[in-house]
Structure 1
């Protein structure tokens, strides 16, 4: 089934699947502060590394986000909910399970632009879900 990343401004009542918010107030939020468009690519790339390190390599989310922020000159968002590794892995595994069960997924993020295609940490989730869909978890 499909996985899409959407802006909350473009939500449709006709969507028949599971809608999951991935903003900073939740466990799946991006810890890195987006400063307009100037650092979007660096923020998304850092999030991809964060996702891999926390899910695959047992890294602590707070420690890993701090390490990556320092390495790439990024700021940690003050609104980011610092999840435990267990909470993050549980939520991400839920996404994998839903995908494996053929459930259409909409990942909702505020940084996804409603009118033009821009990179978002949700895109990293789509890549990771599609990758892990071919593996046992």
Structure 2
């Protein structure tokens, strides 16, 4: 091959290499997102003494949906209470100091809003 042709093909080769690396990274990320938060052999799982997670939510809340999806993917049992449809849930939410949704309780710990890392750290502390 002539050097000019090799030079012309270099951007195409680089593109395909980067695309393959990106695809591998995405695949790894998807696999990690489906892994349970804790191992099924963890003593709390075996004993059936996992933290009680309650999600105070509304139907329209996108962060509530993200929390719901995360809990489901990570095999985290949770109780969902819609504070707009359930007056008793709204009263509990207020008594706990809820101020916006999602509002999450993990045993006695309360969490305003949802982020994966914050939830994971709080959940693991409750084990």
TM-score (normalised: structure 1) = 0.23
Structure with greater helix percent: 2
Select the structure with the greater relative contact order (CA < 8 A; seq sep ≥ 6). Answer: 1
Larger radius of gyration: 2
When you count strand as a share of all residues, which structure comes out higher? 2
